[in-house]
Amino acid sequence: MDKQQKLILTINVGSSSLKFGLYNYETLEARYIGTVEIGGTGNDAFTVKNAAGAVVFQKRGLYNNTVVAFDELLQWLEKNNLVEFIVAAGHRVVQGGPEGKHPALLTDYMLHNLGKLVYLAPNHLPAELEVINIFGNTFPAIQQIACFDNSFHQHMPDCAKYYALPEKYKNMGLQRYGFHGLSYEYIMEKLAGKTAALGRKRIIIAHLGNGASMVGVKNRVGVDTSMGMSPMGGLVMGTRPGDLDPGVSLFLLKHEHLTADELDTLFSKESGLKAIGGFSDVRKLLNIELHNPDAQAAVEMFCYQAKKMIGSLAAAIGGIDILVFTGGIGANAAVIRERICKDMNFMGIEINPKSNSNGLEFISSADSRVEVKVMQTDEEWMIASHTKNLINN
C-alpha cells in the first residue's frame, strides 16, 4: 500500500452525534470529516465533507441511537472502498479512570478494564465501548486506539482532584476527572506555536457547547477544571444542570421518590438550558429571548455561571494572562462571549466589540491586560495525532 494512501479513522461518540474523520497517515491532513446526527427525528443528517469543507455526501434518515449511526458510517466506508486503506482507528473515550493517563492500544484486557468503569460515565462509556466492539468484530485486523478525554487533567493537585469523602470512596475511583481534555490539548498545542514563553502564561480555556467546561492551566498543566467525576457537573449545559448541592439529589430521592435511573435521566437529558428556557440549543434561545422571558433567563444563567467560573479558575492559577473561547458556542456565538466578558475589566478582561462580532481570533481590546482569543478546536485531529504516535512506537 502506498504510504500516501494510508488513512487513520477517528471516531468521536457524543450524546447527540457521532463525529468521524479520515486523516492521511503521513501528513495528518484531513481527507474527510463527517457527522451523523443522533436525534431520532427521522430527518437526522449523515454528512461528509472533504478537506476543503465542501459537502460530498449527505443522507437523511432515522438515526435514533449510536449503533444505527455507526452502522451508517461503516456502510459508507465500505461503499467507497476506504476500509482497505485504514491502518488504525482512534476513539475518543470519555473516561479512562485513574489509570487512563495516556492513549492506549485497545486490547481485550483494556476493554475488560474499561467495562468496569461504566459506573463512572454511564451515559457515555457504554455507547463508546459498543462502537469499539462493533468495529473490532467487523475489522479485526485494524488496530484500535483509545484516547482518553480525562487524561489532560491527570496532574491536578490533590486539593482539586479529590472529594471530601471517606477514603474508601477515593479507592473506588470517585474523584474529579475533568473532561474535554482532547479539546484542551489541541488548543494548547496551537497556542504553543503562536505564543512566546507559553509555560509562564496563566491560561483559562472555555470549551462552551452543548456540553461545556473550563480549565485553568499554569506551567502548561491543567490545575483545575469545572467538571468533576462526570460530565454532568460544573457549568449549566444544554440538558445538564451543572453543579448541584448534594441536598438536591437527596430531596429528589426522598420526596419525589425518583429511582437512580430516573435521577440519571433528569440530570443528563432534562435539565440545564432545556429545563429553564425550553430548548437546549443556545442559538434558538438567543433567537427568541427578546419576547421569551424563560429563554432570556436560560441565557443569563449560562453567561453568569461562565463568568463566575472564570473568576474561580483565575484564583486557582493565580491570575490570568490568556482567555480562550472554543467549542460550538464559544467559537461561534459572539453575543455570548460579549456577555460573559462584560464588566470583567477589574480582572483585566476587555474585548473589542467589533473584533468580537467579526469573529476574529484576537478579540481583546488594546487596553485589555488579558489576551482574549477565539479558536476552533479539533478533537478529531488530536485523536489522529495520538493514534499515529502510538502505532509508530
243 is catalytic: no
Q: How far apart are CA 272 and CA 301, in angstroms?
A: 9
Place of cell 489509570: 99
119 alpha carbon, distance to own chain's centre: 19
Q: Residue 294: which residues within 8 A CB-CB, separation 6 or more? A: 276, 277, 278
Q: How far apart are CA 209 and CA 237, in angstroms?
A: 8
The 8 Å CB, 24+ separation contacts for 153-158 are 153/177, 153/178, 153/181, 153/215, 153/222, 153/225, 154/101, 155/221, 155/222, 156/222, 156/223, 156/224, 156/225, 157/223
Report DSSP state, residue 223.
E
Q: How far apart are CA 307 and CA 319, in angstroms?
A: 14
In whole angstroms, how far apart are CA 305 and each of 108, 212, 213, 242? Answer: 42, 11, 11, 9
Count helices and strands (H / E) in the chain: 15, 13
Q: How far apart are CA 233 and CA 240, in angstroms?
A: 8
* Nearest in space to 88 (alpha carbons), one of 23, 143, 139: 143
Report DSSP state, residue 364.
B
Neighbours of 264 (CB within 10 A): 15
Place of cell 467525576: 229
Q: How far apart are CA 355 and CA 297, in angstroms?
A: 27
Marked catalytic residue, from 44, 149, 224, 378: 149
Strand partners, 35: 19, 47
Residues involved in catalysis: 149
